[in-house]
Homo-oligomer: A and B are copies of this chain.
Amino acid sequence: MTFTEPAIQKLLESIAFDANGLVAAIAQRHETGEVLMLAWMNADAVRETLETGRVTYWSRSRQALWRKGETSGHVQTLRNIRIDCDGDALLLGVDQIGAACHTNRPNCFFREVDADGLATISAPMAG
């Protein structure tokens, strides 16, 4: 899914970017509702995502645009994009190829609190 310039402008105007010029972005698997990851976008990442239909984040560690899947092939294709009531979070409906997590797990939330501490609840994907 790609978007027109007026729609991109309207979204950018509605985002309350933080002091670092970033907004939180939650990626959710469109078909199942599985929450895949939380990452960050700057205005350029938002624009590129909406123009290309492929999800691009801002890497805070590398201080550069992070075209998800560019090296791994684990791209996220945009299905829809929502913004929250106060404009400081985005919710992306995506199709995820392969693993969302750099650990090769389906999603980044693979540790769950249990009675003893943290349990690992999913294994790395094959291939």
Chain A interfacial positions (CB closer than 8 Å to B): 3-4, 6-7, 9-11, 14, 24, 26, 28, 32-35, 37-38, 50, 80-86, 88-89, 91, 101-103, 105, 108-118, 121
State whether A35 touches B28 (Cβ < 8 A).
yes
CB-defined contacts of A88 to chain B, threshold 8 Å: 38
Is B80 a contact of A112 with CB atoms below 8 Å? Answer: yes
The distance in angstroms between the C-alpha atoms of A103 and B50, with both chains bound, is 27
Q: Which residues of B contact A112 (CB under 8 A)?
A: 80-82
Please state if A32 and B35 are interface contacts (CB–CB under 8 Å). no
Complex interface: chain B residues within 8 A of A6 (CB)? 116-117
Q: With contacts A7-B115, A26-B38 known, is A108 near B80, CB below 8 A? A: no
Complex contacts, A89 vs chain B, CB 8 Å: 37-38, 108-109
The distance in angstroms between the C-alpha atoms of A91 and B119, with both chains bound, is 14
Complex Cα–Cα for A116 and B8 (A): 9
Roughly how many angstroms separate A24 CA and B121 CA in the complex, as a whole number? 21
Residues of B within 8 Å of A91, CB to CB, are: 35, 109
